[in-house]
Amino acid sequence: MSSSETTAFIELENVVFRRGSRIILDDFSLSIPQASIAAIMGPSGVGKSTVLKLITGQIKPESGRVVVNGERIDEMSDRQLNQYRKTLGVMLQNSALFTDLSVYENVALPVREHTLLPETIIRRLVLTKLHAVGLRGAIDLYPRELSGGMARRVALARALVLDPALVLYDEPFTGLDPIAVATVSQLIRHVNAALGLTSVLVTHNVTQMGKLVDLACIIVAGKVAAVGSPQSLFDDKSPEVQQFMDGLPDGPVPFHYPATELSEDLLV
């Protein structure tokens, strides 16, 4: 295995993050290798999106370190964060395309906002990325004319248009039919390998995780319950991991959010 495969590109070290009195991440540590695809998984509300926001610098930890490509993200100034975010690609769960802009203009938008490149270069960048996701022929369509899978592919082209070193995906498979899920999954793998990217996905899709990623992390109660290859998680016999991987309603992760006894509330 080469050094590039073993070098950590993202490191969260002993991170603590709270919202008010509630601890979201508690002494959370995770290392993601360079040029890999990693999945952040776990039940709803355990802090998966919080991990993405820490990586983008939208929020800062109460304690601990957030390091990306050797840079302390949690210590950056606003100006430094603005520069750093130009090296990121982000694909949101709902694609977040601008409804009044064509496919071409949606993909071109980050280039227009962050560079002074001439229109000839912008066009080349946009067409190249749309070709990579199979939608070069859809440049004049608007989001309302796209299927869910096509919209997700346009969002991927936009995330890649500035050739980022790191791409973050927030639930990339939600709401897609099986063919679209397979298409988006294949595209993520292809562009990651072709461009040498590091990619991080927040996902609940255990099946696609098993086919796509190099590393998976399951979060339970703000801590890492398991981390390793997809197969190691399928083989993990701990109750927390088994409950999530098998989709079991009963287990260590409770159905009810903590509350007083129902009888006490009914008597108020």
Q: Tell me the per-residue pLDDT of 78-99, one tens digit each, with 9 for 90 and over.
A: 999 999 998 899 998 778 899 9
Q: pTM (2 decimals)?
A: 0.86
In percent, the amount of the chain with pLDDT more than 90 equals 64
Q: Are 43 and 253 in contact (CB under 8 A)?
A: yes
Which residues are paired to 224 by β-bridges? 219
Q: Can you tell me the distance from the alpha carbon of 256 to that of 264, in angstroms, rounded to the nearest whole number?
A: 16
- Cβ proximity of 227 and 64 under 8 Å: no
Pair 114, 163: CB distance under 8 Å = no
Residue in this structure with the two tokens 């996905």, named with its chain if needed = 201
pLDDT digits (tens, 9 = 90+) for 38-79: 999 988 878 899 999 999 999 999 999 999 999 999 999 999
**CA distance linking residue 51 with residue 189, whole number of Å:** 21
Domains, the chain, in order of start with CATH, read 3-87+164-266 (3.40.50.300)
